[in-house]
Amino acid sequence: RRQTTFHLVGFVEPAEDYSCGQFARDAQQKISEIREKNKNPIVCGGTGMYIKALFHPLDQLPQSNAQTKARIREMMQKHGIEYLYKRLRRIDPEWAKMIQPQDKQRIMRGIEVFEITGQPLSKMLGKAVKKRIILPYYIGVNLPRDALYARINSRFDHMINAGLVQETESLLRKGFSPESSALRTIGYREIVGYLHGLWSLETAIENAKRRTRNYAKRQITWFKKMPDIQWHDPGESETVEQILRKIGKAKVAM
């Protein structure tokens, strides 16, 4: 980060909900600003839904409502996720079929959209006319699985040594809820469990590494299904030169 300017990093509060739709709007603005300087932006990351939201615009769904979400979350804490899923099946059976019965975020979102609009979320999908305003040139880098997993494990060890436990402890001390969007992510969730006495630090670290490896595997599966990605092995000495040559030949359009 001392060598390259990164955008949309460290700008959302831990308690703030931040959707892939909001990311798409913010990223489009930044991309426009960079292009106005006659530079080509690089969108770097591996979260498939966020990439899809940016380059293949999503349906326009209602903004999240804090009071409605809090009421639904309280309902989940009181009755459990199975109760919410059964309710979702009654009000929006089509959406319930498309998600897993343990997918808290999407179950809550389905109920929330229904309570805000009175319409099933599934009926609102595919209705909006969406305009694709950015044409990307996709580049994929994929290490051999053993090397990738070794890097994942090493990365989390580095995060622990850099103060992840203390950071999480500080966030909790400041009043951020363990159920907030930030603290429910991989790594934070396991450290929160350790700080609450649910398991040892060693167990928290191993669980976080395992969940990260599983997440990376799902990311690879997601992007492997995209036919227009140019894949490269980052371990090859000529990879950077090959990528730069291809970017130079590619037509990047807005």
| 152, 214 Cβ separation under 8 angstroms | no
pTM over 0.75: no
Please state, as a whole number, how many other Cβ atoms lie within 10 Å of the Cβ of residue 85: 20
- Bridge partners of residue 135, in order along the sequence: 253
Residue 253 has pLDDT above 70, yes or no: no
Return the higher-pLDDT residue of 20 and 111: 111
Beta strands in the chain (DSSP E): 139-141, 230-232
Q: What is the pLDDT of residues 181-201, one digit of tens each?
A: 888 899 999 999 999 999 999
**Per-chain mean pLDDT for the chain:** 86
| 155, 148 Cβ separation under 8 angstroms | no
Residue 177 has pLDDT above 50, yes or no: yes
Residue 60, pLDDT score: 65
CA distances (Å), origin 51, targets 136, 197, 226: 10, 37, 12
Q: How confident is the model at residue 128 (pLDDT cuts 50, 70, 90)?
A: low
Q: For 61, which DSSP code?
A: -
Report the C-alpha gap between 113 and 19 in whole angstroms: 14
Q: How confident is the model at residue 159 (pLDDT cuts 50, 70, 90)?
A: very high
Please state, as a whole number, how many other Cβ atoms lie within 10 Å of the Cβ of residue 43: 16
Residue 251 has pLDDT above 80, yes or no: no
Return the higher-pLDDT residue of 48 and 74: 74
Q: How confident is the model at residue 250 (pLDDT cuts 50, 70, 90)?
A: low
The residue type at 172: L
Helices 201-224 & 145-161 angle (0-180, nearest 10): 140
Q: What percent of the chain has pLDDT over 90?
A: 42
Residue 61 has pLDDT above 80, yes or no: no
Report the C-alpha gap between 28 and 13 in whole angstroms: 21
Q: What percent of the chain has pLDDT over 70?
A: 93
